[in-house]
Amino acid sequence: MNTTLLPILMLASALTSAYVLQKGPAPAPSSPAPQRITTALWFEDRAEEAIRFYCSIFKDSKVLAEARWGAGGPMPKGTLMSARFQLAGQEFVAINGSPKIPFTDAISLSVPCQTQAEIDTYWEKLGAGGAPGRCGWLKDKFGVSWQVVPSVLEKLLGDPDPAAARRVGEAMMKMDKLDIATLQKAHDQP
């Protein structure tokens, strides 16, 4: 990567997310605490497309701020440099950076789901143009890893009965998209 580009992108990311560190009046007692940690997603040159895609999938999602390249930058004038956006109320930063820093499975975004219908919907939408993985994991068309998991999974895998927890784990290992009824059946069998 161009050594002068990295500091510019880091500064853009910091400026886009600087609101997290600003001090203001204390929130009202009924207000949730402000988010203190923001995930930054580094794309080669498709950050804007990814943001629009993600915002179309999750409720309570929107673009909060954008910074664009001007004339003479490493990307065409008007190209998104970085943006702060919200998915399901959670804030993120996206950066158009470099092809030399790909996404890996070492980090993923987890989507807990209450129902099988939610799992089916998020699996289909996030996986469109991407690739399914095992145990509820998938890669979207931008290379970002997601876990689409039932909220009950933690309880089933953490059952104090080791045989029940083992059966759930074994059933899960055979699945790509997770199926709540199959996991529950594995848990409940004698």
CB contact set of 15 (below 8 Å; sequence gap of 6+): 67, 82
The structure's pTM equals: 0.82
| pLDDT digit string, tens, across residues 149-162 | 999 999 999 999 99
Do residues 86 and 92 make contact, with C-beta atoms less than 8 angstroms apart? yes
- Topology match between the domains 5-16+36-96 and 109-188: no
| pLDDT digit string, tens, across residues 114-139 | 999 999 999 999 999 999 999 999 99
Enumerate the domain spans of the chain. Answer: 5-16+36-96, 109-188
What is the distance, to the nearest Å, from the Cα of residue 109 to the centroid of all Cα atoms in its chain?
4
Question: Span 5-16+36-96: which CATH code?
Answer: 3.30.720.100
The CATH class of 109-188 is alpha beta
What residues does 18 pair with on adjacent strands?
Answer: none
What residues does 43 pair with on adjacent strands?
Answer: 96
Q: Does residue 10 register a pLDDT over 70?
A: no
| pLDDT digit string, tens, across residues 83-100 | 999 999 999 999 998 788
